[in-house]
Amino acid sequence: MSTDRTVSSAAGRSRPGEPVYLVFSDVDETLIHCKSLLDFLDHYFAERHGSRGRRHAAGVRARLAAATAAGMARDEANALYYRAWRGEPVADVWWAGRRWYADRRATGGFFVDATRAALRRHRADGAELVLVSGSFGAVLDPLAEECAAAHVLCTLPEVVDGVLTGEVVGEPVIGEGKRRAVRALLARHPHVDPADCHAYGDHVSDLPMLLEVGHPTVVGESTDLLERLRAARRMSPA
């Protein structure tokens, strides 16, 4: 089904104040080319703690790489990542996220242009954009503002007395966590039919999210994801 036909059928069912449909987009290597969590890890700890921070970030990367190679599930690796932030002041982290975003945005080649263009078309058609990511607000908030995303579904780091504890609130928004987050948002929009909605992802961990909508798109060439979602539209990230 083309975007135009989707809008035509959905618009007839929507009510005033309701989006025509929702568009769910993964972020890393779907909307932007980099892995935001790792890139921001390097940026923040080098900026705030200098050489000690660079060593800390390198150690976290090494532990994550070893855990992933040993078969650790992606949601568990996501939780392991957040433990690296224990003791950091949340306000400093959030302001650093805006500086990181401005730096990366200014270098060019930051966005996956095909995805960004598709999301713009959806918004012009009356859809609401939803970013769905295992990343966190420090990284995602400025991106959501620039893309005019109506919602951000993401992992929530725990904060006590203004300091990150290294734990997360609830479950990481990875894999089945993405499915549950998408379903919860759809439940808040009862006049939106999931069959009219779109979703974009690049990795097999996005599959639960992609299966929740009528129009999934695979960004890139993930063999695992394409094998499991043969009917999906394919889009090159170049």
Report the pLDDT value the prediction gives residue 10, as an integer from 0 to 100: 55
Compute how many other C-beta atoms are within 10 angstroms of the C-beta atom of residue 190.
Answer: 9
Token pair for 130: 């939803």
φ, ψ of residue 152 to 5 degrees: the values are -130, 120
- Which of 188, 238, 234, 180 lies closest to 211, judged by CA? 180
Long-range CB contacts for residues 118-123, cutoff 8 Å, separation at least 24: 118/200, 118/217, 118/235, 119/23, 119/25, 119/31, 119/147, 119/200, 121/3, 122/3, 122/21, 122/23, 122/198, 123/23, 123/148
Residue 107 in this model has a pLDDT that exceeds 80 = yes
Report the pLDDT value the prediction gives residue 16, as an integer from 0 to 100: 61
Any idea where the domains of the chain sit in the sequence? 3-235
Average pLDDT over residues 159-186: 96
The secondary element (H helix, E strand) that includes residue 39 is helix 36-69
Average pLDDT over residues 140-153: 96
With H, G, I as helix, E, B as strand and everything else as coil, classify residue 147: helix
Task: Specify whether the backbone of 109 is left (phi greater than 0), alpha (psi in -120 to 50) or beta.
Answer: left
Q: Rounded to an integer, what distance in angstroms lies between the CA atom of residue 60 and that of residue 86? A: 12
Average pLDDT over residues 73-93: 95
Topology of 3-235 in CATH? Rossmann fold (3.40.50)
Cα 65 from chain centroid (whole Å): 20
Q: Rounded to an integer, what distance in angstroms lies between the CA atom of residue 126 and that of residue 122? A: 7
Average pLDDT, the chain: 92
